[in-house]
Each structure stands twice: as structure tokens, then as C-alpha cells.
Chains A and B, each alone.
Chain A
Amino acid sequence: MDRDAFLARVRAGIDRSTLPPAPEADPGPLVPDLPDVDLIERFGTAIATLDGTLHTGDPYAAIAEIIAAHGPGQLVAWDDEHLPLADAIRRFTASGCVRIDGIVPSSAGERLAHQRGYFDVLYGLTGAEAGFAETGSIVVRSGPGRPRMASLIPLVHIVLLPRDRIVRSPMHWLTSEESNVAGAANVVYVTGPSRTADIEQRIELGVHGPREVHVVLVERSEVSRHR
């Protein structure tokens, strides 16, 4: 339908409607008033209830522990310059992991051929823009050198999260200047591993996305917040 005609029909509906009274101006967001907590502790509690894992100690030891548990496998990762921990990718490749290129070609045929290579990816390694203490979520932003697939296609997702990026709740982050969600084609809040309860309401992990999510805390990051 022609756009103007469509919108005129909507307007006619509004003019006939008996909607309850509503604020004339956009009421805007509400940042929740939540009790003060230790952000890291609260984040750890939240992600544990989601069957995710928070690693607060030496990040390299955490990575070594994860690789030891699963053995070598394929890796899709953000580029080094986008990771807030030096030498992180090499810790995987030095342990026998093979890094798959995360740049997907645009042409249909090449795209297909490339993505078929994603079938058995074991590890995904990404940074994170933010962590939400209230929900145990982390935020990943797409862009050059930051494939979306790295947090989606592997069985095990390792997130390098700078300690100072943990905020109280999703609304605290979304209403801050840092968020700039529309500045990227894709921003995702990842709240624990992939899950389903479709069969008899029983929770199962890793139905399409990662079965394990490991959030590894790193020190204050020098990586710029990408716009």
C-alpha cells in the first residue's frame, strides 16, 4: 500500500479511537532505583543463576583452564586490536586451536562456502562493551574486526570484560552516552548461554548458540569504545 495512504488510515483510526489518556509528550526512559551493591559480586551471582561462569582471577589462567577442559578446536575471534587483553588469541592458537577468518564475503556463492566452515566451531573469543550487574548480561557490538558470529556460532563463548565496564542495570547503560546502540548494525545483550525450555519446560543449554559462556574479567581497558 502507498505509504501516505497507509499512514492516513492509521490516523483515521487514531481519530476514532477511545484510547485511555496518555502523556502528550514521550514519557521517556526510566532508570530503575536499585539498591547499591558490589557490581562484580552481583554480576557473578546473576550469571551463575544463568548457568554462565565468571572468572575473576588471572585471565590467562582462566583461558588456559577453559582450553584444557575442551581441548583444541576451531576458533572465531575478534581481532586483537578489539580485545582488551594482549596476546589472547595466541593463547588459543598456541594450544592447537585453529582460527577461522571471521570476514564473511558478500557474494552469495562465496558466502555459502565460507559459512559452511562454521559448522563445528568450538570457541568464540570477544570483548564486551559493558556488563549488567542486575542481569548478568554482557554487550557485544558488531563492526570491522568484530564478527557477530564470534559470540553466536561456537559451543564455548569466552568474553573478555574490563572490570570498569560493569554497570548496575541495562537501563543505566542504555541511557548513558557510552551506549550509542544505533552506531553499529548490531548490538546484542547476551544473558547467559543459549537456552530452551520448549520440551516439557525443561531447561536445555546450547540449542543454537553457545552452551557455555565464560566471562573473564580483565583490568581496565585501553581499547577504545567503538563508535
Chain B
Amino acid sequence: MTAPTFAQRGAEAVGSEAAAAVGDGARHLIEKRAAAVDAYPAMDAMRDRARDIRLHTLAHLDDYLFEFAEAVEALGGHVFFAADAGEATAHVAGIARAAGVRTIVKSKSMVTEEIELNAALEADGRRVVETDLGEFIVQLSGDRPSHIVAPVLHWTKEQVGRLFADELGVAYTDEPTELNQIARTHLRRIFLEADMGISGVNFAAASTGTIAVVTNEGNGRLTTTAPRVHVAVMGMERVVPTLEDLGVMLEVLGRSATGQALTTYTNLITGPRRPGDADGPDELHVVVVDNGRSTVLGDDVSEVLACIRCGACLNICPVYRSVGGHAYGDVYPGPVGSVLSPILFGFEGREELPYACTLCGACLEVCPARIDLPRMLVNLRERVAAEGSAFSWLDRPLDAYEFAATHPTVWNASLDGASVAGRASRSGWFKRLPWRGKAWTGERDLPAPAATSFRRWWRKHRGS
């Protein structure tokens, strides 16, 4: 049995409670972003600078990664370069084994989800606990995140209440303040007792070896402060040349993602705990992950590596708001995912993703790095079409169209046929069509063809 396609998953999702919740959440985030952008007179200039910094870094990525690694090592940190998911997970598992780790706390990180790090560590006998409230809910329930910034956009508070009652042995409540307190108490003990913390990396500064981990809840800080070993996993494109450049990225990240001028905690880490420091982890390991990124870099869509994972393109996308995150089938949903996933993970089974888009261009309008996603989606469509694999069911209708369009008699006859159908509709709209048309009229009406074709009308009225 083949895996369901985007169209199949999407068709199932449209109109569902979960997709509606994602749509509402995304609309809320659009408003918050717009307000923050309006309130900041420097936003446009910062976006231009952010784009320049990202593109400059990508063009010299090997040099900056080298410089970054040297800087981290000079501070007593360790750096490992992982070619793929297997190397990355094996290395982190090795660190955990060597340090005698039992419990691992994690702060939210897309790249660790991409490489399926939790599964690898659990298979090796470690207990891994997600600590971002949303990710904690996802892990506890065995669900998947539906948004890269807000993972449980598709959950209701009643569902969370039932989950906590079932899994944590607490009394049922659907009061968010109480649910929040339950999570705080439950996770706090685990934080203080964990041997290892695993975080992602929002940005890294090459010249100083500094990594930035931003969170609103504070779980990113606890993860990188309480356990004695800190492992930071970063996609290799996260680096920028200097701390000051990193500051420019922070200027646009929070405003684009959640409409915050800054995320609550901007956590800047430069090496492990230093001699005499009161607290902090004694070991710092940075794992730099390729896992397909060098392929993306060499592709026509290399610009997508300038992405800073703010999620603004998801929120603004009319397709994403209708189908939600799960329909995309991969870790990275929405417009950016539709570009990234086929190249990172291969086209097979992802041929429809470049078509999960109306080419409205809204994603380009909001992207803090002004990444031209519509251009890349068109590029990917051309490649899918050249392979002839995505929409083979369209081939025959298109052949028929070609035949009619090149044979005037057939063409005229088909127009007359359409006019007959048009006369059958008194309102001028088809509310329900049979067969293939059913999918169209399920969501909207179709204007009926005119009762008389233009050609006929012209023959009758010419000269009058």
C-alpha cells in the first residue's frame, strides 16, 4: 500500500476540527505579526539586512562553519560534524552513554525532530522528556506537531485536560492556568534531576562560537543550565558571521514568528561553564547537521537555506490554514516545507507538495529574509512535470483539450454542449456537479457557461 498523498491527507483535513483550530491560531499569529511590524519603523531595513547577512553567509558557509567550530573548541566545547541523521543520532547517543546519562531534557528543536533523535536515544535506553509545553503534550499523546512554532495549535484545552488526567494522574481540569501549573510542577523536578539537556540552535555566531537559543517559556534556559551536559544540535545553515549579525536575526525573528519584539528569553551561550562560574553545564557539545542540506545548497532552491524558521509563511498561507500542518506529511509544513522537504528527503511521495500552493505570493511578502518561495515552488513544479509523475490523471483530459482546441469543428460542438449545460442552470451557478466536478462544488459553486456561446452571439450580432 502506498502512503497517502498530500491531496488525500489534505482532503481529509479540510473542514476538520483540528484544521479549523490551526486556521484560527494562524490567523491570530498573522494579526500579532502585523501589529509588531507596524510598531517597528526599522523593520523593512532590518529584513533587507537580515537577507543580506543570510545570503552572504551561505555563499561562504564552509568558511564560517570552520571558524565557528574553532571558536567553540577554543572555549573547551566539542564540535561534531554529522553528514546525516544516522551519524548525528549515533554521536549524541555516544555522548549520553559516555556521560552515564539516564534522563535527558529537551527544548523544542526542529532539527532533532527531523533526525528523529528521541527515538534513537530511547532505543539506547535513555529517558527523553520534551519540555516545551506544546512539545510535551505532543510527546505525551504520541501526536505530531502541526506548526513549527506552535506545535499544538490543533489541540483544544479540553483535550489537553483529558490527556493530563489520563497520563499524569491529576484531576481533570480544562483551565489553562491550572494545566500550565501541572506541567510546571511535573517538568520542574525532571529538569533539576536530568543529566543531559538537548537544545536546538536558532543562530550561531562564527567569530565567537556563541549559540542563541530562544524560548518564551524558559525551558530552553533550564535545558541549557540545569543538567551537567549540554548538547546543542544545529542545522549547518544556522550560522552567521558575528554576534552583531546574530543580533540582526533576533530583530526579525520574534516579530515575524509571534509578533514579539524579542522572544522572552534570548539565551546566548558561549562555551561551557567557566572556572569560578556559579552554575551551568560542565560539558558543551555542538552537533552540526548536514542531512541533505549540502544537496539543497547545490540545488536551484538553495535560497531556502536562508530560512530562520519563524513560521510566518505557514500562518499567511491560505493552503496551510485550510489543511493544517499534518497534511504535508513531513517535519516542515507550509510553503517553506513544500520547497525544503522534496529536496531534503527526496521527491518520491512528495510530488504534490509544490502544488499545495495558489502562487498568491503572500509568503514572500511576510518572509523576514524575503525568500522567493513562489519562484522555487514553480521551479519544483517544472521538475515534477518533466518527470511526468505528479498528476498523470490530468494527462487524458489535457490530451482531449488539445485535440478539441486544434480541431475547430470539435471545438464548436463542445461549446454548444457547454451552452446546453448552461441553460440547465437557472441561477447561473452550479451548486452540485457529478463525478470529478463534485470535489469542486463541495467547497464552492461553479459559474454556469453562458446559454449562448460568444461565437454564436457574434455571428448573430456582427455589424448591428
Contacts and interface: CB of A to CB of B under 8 A. Distances in A.
A147 to B, nearest CB: 4
Given A26-B56, A149-B279, A202 B45 contact: no
User: What is the size category of the interface that chain A forms with chain B?
Assistant: 35 or more
* Interface size of B as a range: 35 or more
B277 A185 contact: yes
A198 B55 contact: no
17 contacts: A9-B83, A15-B298, A18-B299, A26-B241, A30-B248, A34-B42, A115-B226, A118-B192, A119-B192, A142-B280, A174-B247, A182-B270, A189-B266, A199-B157, A201-B28, A208-B184, A208-B188
Given A181-B243, A182-B270, A186-B225, 11 more contacts: A10-B297, A22-B59, A23-B56, A104-B278, A136-B261, A144-B277, A181-B210, A191-B264, A198-B150, A202-B157, A207-B219
A170 interface: yes
A interface majority secondary structure: loop
A22 B261 CA distance: 27
A174 B221 contact: no
Interface stretch (A59-67, A91-99, A105-113, A159-167): A105-113
Nearest to B261: A135
Given A14-B59, A175-B247, A198-B152, A193 B264 contact: yes
Contact of B58 (A19, A28, A50, A115): A19
A176 to B, nearest CB: 10
Given A170-B250, A208-B184, A198 B59 contact: no
Given A7-B66, A106-B282, A146-B278, A27 B52 contact: yes
A223 interface: no
A17 B302 contact: yes
Given A26-B53, A28-B244, A182-B270, A108 B210 contact: no
A77 to B, nearest CB: 11
Contact of B251 (A115, A170, A194, A204): A170
Contact of A207 (B28, B81, B217, B293): B217
Contacts of B137: 198
Nearest to B131: A208
Given A1-B82, A10-B236, A30-B45, A145 B192 contact: no
A202 B200 CA distance: 25
Interface of B: 21, 24-25, 28-29, 40-42, 45-46, 49, 52-53, 55-56, 58-62, 65-66, 69, 81-83, 87, 100, 131-134, 137, 150-153, 155-157, 160, 176-177, 179-180, 183-184, 187-189, 191-193, 195, 205, 208-210, 216-219, 221-222, 224-226, 228, 236, 241-245, 247-248, 250-251, 258, 260-274, 276-280, 282, 288, 290, 293-300, 302-303, 372
Interface of A: 1-3, 6-30, 32-35, 46, 50, 102-104, 106, 108, 111-112, 115-116, 118-119, 132, 134-137, 142-149, 152-153, 170-171, 174-175, 179, 181-202, 204, 206-210
Q: Which of A9, A25, A179, A186 gathers most chain B CB within 10 Å?
A: A186
A20 B81 contact: no
Q: Which of A20, A118, A149 has the most CB of B within 10 A?
A: A20
Nearest to B58: A19
A186 B269 contact: yes
A29 B240 CA distance: 11
